[in-house]
Structure formats: C-alpha cells, structure tokens
C-alpha cells in the first residue's frame, strides 16, 4: 500500500486506510492535544511534531530577494496551480476516509447520511503544465514545529479547517493523542468563527436571518484579539456579505440604547469594512518576515441547474458529474468582488497569498452535501417530497473538494 507522505507528484500519492507507521517513523511522533473550544462549536487541535529526519534538508539558502516565511522551495516557473482541470483518480483519492476522521461535523458527513455514490471523492486537481505538490503531512509537522495556524471566517472556512485536521490526523496514532496537556513544540491548528471578520449580531449562533444581520463598523479587534500571536492565518469572508440586500452598518456599539444604523451596498461594505479592515489589522499585528497570511476566495454555489445546462428549477441535488465547460462561472460568485480583492491586496504592504479556489470549485456541482447531512430541524412532508427544496448547495462533503483547497494551501505555503 502506498504512503500518503510522499513529496513527489500528486499522482504518486497513496491512500492511508488505517494509520500504520514504521517503527522508525513512530519514534518521531510526539503527541496530539485536543483542547477547549475557542468559539463554542469548534475545537482546537494541536498536532505533535516529528523530529527532523537526519540528513534531510527542509530549508533552502536564503536568496537576496525577500523570502516568504516557511517557504522551502518555489513553484515551477510560469506555473499557475489554480488553472487546470479535474482528472479522475481512483488510486490516490480520497486522501482519507470519512469514517477514519472523527472530527468531521455531521453536516459534512455525506456517506454517513446516505449518499449512495462516492464518485465525488475520486477527482484530483491537475494544473496545466505542472504538478501540484502532494500534501505531505510529515513535512508540514516537521517544518511548522511550535507554530500556530488559525482558520478565521465562516462555515466554509470551518470546512477547510476540518479538512486540514483530517489530512494531518492520518499520521497520528490514536494513543499518541491527549486531551489533557499542551506541548509548545507542537503545531497548533485553531479555528475562529467570524463570518464577517468584524463584530456582527450574527456572531450569535442563533441570529442568522438575512434581514436581521448588522455589522459593527471598525470592530475587527473584537475578534482580532484572538488572532494575535498566530504564525499562519487563513481568512475567508464572502457569502454573508452577498445577500442581495444592502448591508446594515452599526455606528457605535451593540450596547447603545439608541443605535445609529446606515445601509451600504454589499460591494462597498465588502471593500471598506471587510478587506480594508482585515489588511489594516494584518499590517499592525503580523510580522512579514516570520508569519504568513492566506485568503481563500469565494466558494461557489450550485443552486441554479439551468446555468450549467441542467433543467430549470433543479440544483446540486442528485448531481454526480463535474462541469466540463472550462469557461463555466457561477453567477453567485461576483467577478466585481474578485476585482475588489485584487485591487485592495495590490495595495497591501504585507504579502497576502490569495488562494483562488473559485473557478476550480465552480466545476464541482457534484461535491456539495446536498441532502446528505444532518438537518438543523426536522424536515416537513413537503420538503421530503421535493429534495431539491432543501438540498444544501453551499457546503461540501468531506473528504472531497476542500481537501484540494488545502493541497493548494500546502503548495503556496511551502513552494510559493
């Protein structure tokens, strides 16, 4: 059985069905710690590191030009890993089994909730003219010894976070995990819920109705105080801003008896409130020589089958094939917002690594959780009679597409 720890091209990556380590590799493992939740519904995982392998160089000589933190190499010249195609791969996919990763929330466990096929797990992203480095958990644990990685954003960011936990989890024996202790030599992976990045009334797990959402101006430090001291930040924010309505902006505090609220267009709010606030916080709190910041682009939805040539009134429900049209673009993924991100990032003095997952994810109408998930409330008879009506075409099954997002993160972290 092939090991998933190879650092060669992705075509050589194997599937680890049950964690089996050689005696030598086992001695390199320390432990994993799982400690208290930061934001109620999520957990923090601390993955024990591997001792450096003798004779193996994981750092490269520093060049005259600025080197990004944690880079151990560079990508192939003229290689854009975000442009490519999906290729079917039954040998190396999935990268782990749903049943083997106990940290996947029931909202993402599609097999457990009755999905009849596993085709969505058998696709690998192949960039044009180059290869995507294989996700190498050993290298990641070695290189990031004692570092802190945090995922900050909405529920899609949470899915990417859980995917990362599962990718690393395959390397750690069960008895090498602890719930009671903390090791400063471990890689710590956190997740912080902040769907708008700024403070909002939607930080409350119950207040989610679109018309009721209010974002507080100039409040990024409300959440940002939890991000300080982190070495690698992975942000996202998009879907909560794009409601089709203007965004309600609160001047002052949520505690004020009389609240002054103005309404701003979604695009202006996204630029001024989300992007500029985030970049300002990063500039003030992150060290460009020692830390890295990533931003995951908008995750597409597949709520309108007619957009890809499907039947009117249909959506991602019962979709088991990918979209072959390389020019396909989900209309809910606003190109104007992509332009906003590009414009604001180009002004940043701190280098932000943009994980442009939008186009490659737009081909994957087959990979959503659809109806195969734990429902938040009992389904009505009308819903049960019409699965399209309650199919989730926003979130993604795990294992699945979001593992590719983390392969891209791995690539840009170590081979920018």
> Which residues are annotated as catalytic?
155, 392, 395
Diameter of the chain measured on Cα atoms: 66
Handedness of CA 261, 267, 272, 277 (dihedral sign): positive
Question: Which residue, 211, 106, 219, 96, is CA-closest to 163?
Answer: 96
Contacts of 415 (CB under 8 A, 6+ apart): 71, 72, 73, 74, 75, 133
CB neighbours (10 Å) of residue 227?
Answer: 22
How wide is the angle at C-alpha 107 spanned by C-alphas 34 and 219, nearest 5°?
A: 70
Nearest to 403 by CA among 1, 120, 111: 120
Exposure class string for 62-83: b at 16+ Cβ within 10 A, else e? eeeeebbbbbeeebeeebebbe
- Any residues with CB less than 8 A from the CB of 178 and at least 6 apart, and which? 31, 32, 33, 34
H or E element at residue 124: strand 123-127
CA distance 123 to 402: 12
Q: How far is CA 293 from CA 69, 124, 355, in A?
A: 10, 25, 10
CA-to-CA distance for 313 and 182, rounded, in angstroms? Answer: 51
Closest CA to 45 of 236, 186, 235, 141: 186
Cis bond leading into 340, ω under 30°?
Answer: no
- Bridge partners (DSSP) of residue 193 are 153
Q: How close are the terminal C-alpha atoms of the chain, in Å? A: 31
């Amino acid at each position: 059985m092939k090991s998933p720890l190879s650092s060669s091209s992705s075509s050589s990556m194997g599937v680890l069905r049950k964690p089996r380590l050689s005696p030598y590799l086992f001695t390199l493992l320390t432990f994993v710690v799982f400690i208290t939740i930061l934001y109620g519904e999520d957990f923090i995982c601390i993955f024990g590191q591997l001792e450096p392998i003798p004779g193996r160089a994981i750092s490269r000589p520093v060049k005259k030009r600025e080197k990004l933190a944690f880079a151990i190499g560079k990508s192939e010249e003229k290689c854009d890993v975000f442009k490519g195609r999906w290729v079917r791969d039954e040998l190396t996919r999935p990268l782990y089994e749903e049943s083997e990763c106990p940290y996947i929330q029931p909202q993402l466990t599609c097999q457990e909730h009755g999905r009849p096929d596993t085709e969505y797990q058998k696709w690998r992203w192949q960039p044009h003219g180059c290869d995507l480095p294989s996700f190498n958990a050993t290298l990641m644990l070695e290189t990031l010894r004692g570092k802190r990685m945090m995922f900050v954003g909405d529920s899609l960011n949470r899915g990417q976070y859980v995917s990362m936990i599962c990718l690393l989890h395959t390397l750690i024996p069960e008895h090498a995990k602890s719930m009671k202790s903390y090791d400063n030599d471990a890689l710590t992976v956190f997740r912080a819920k902040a769907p708008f990045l700024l403070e909002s009334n939607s930080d409350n797990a119950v207040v989610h109705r679109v018309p009721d959402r209010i974002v507080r101006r100039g409040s990024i430090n409300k959440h940002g105080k939890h991000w300080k001291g982190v070495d690698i930040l992975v942000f996202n924010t998009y879907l909560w801003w794009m409601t089709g309505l203007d965004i309600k902006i609160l001047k002052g505090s949520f505690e004020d008896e009389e609240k002054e609220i103005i309404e701003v267009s979604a695009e202006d709010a996204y630029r001024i409130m989300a992007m500029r606030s985030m970049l300002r916080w990063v500039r003030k709190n992150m060290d460009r020589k020692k830390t890295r910041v990533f931003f995951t682009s908008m995750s597409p939805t597949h709520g309108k089958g007619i957009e890809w040539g499907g039947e009117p009134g249909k959506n991602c429900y019962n979709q088991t094939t990918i979209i072959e049209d390389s020019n396909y673009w989900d209309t809910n993924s606003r190109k104007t917002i992509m332009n906003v991100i590009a414009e604001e990032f180009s002004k940043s003095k701190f280098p932000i690594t943009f994980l442009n997952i939008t186009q490659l994810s737009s081909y994957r109408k087959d990979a959503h959780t659809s109806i195969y998930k734990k429902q938040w409330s009992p389904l009505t008879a009308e819903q049960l009679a019409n699965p399209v009506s309650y199919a989730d075409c926003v979130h993604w099954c795990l294992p699945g597409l979001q593992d590719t997002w983390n392969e891209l993160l791995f690539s840009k972290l170590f081979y920018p």
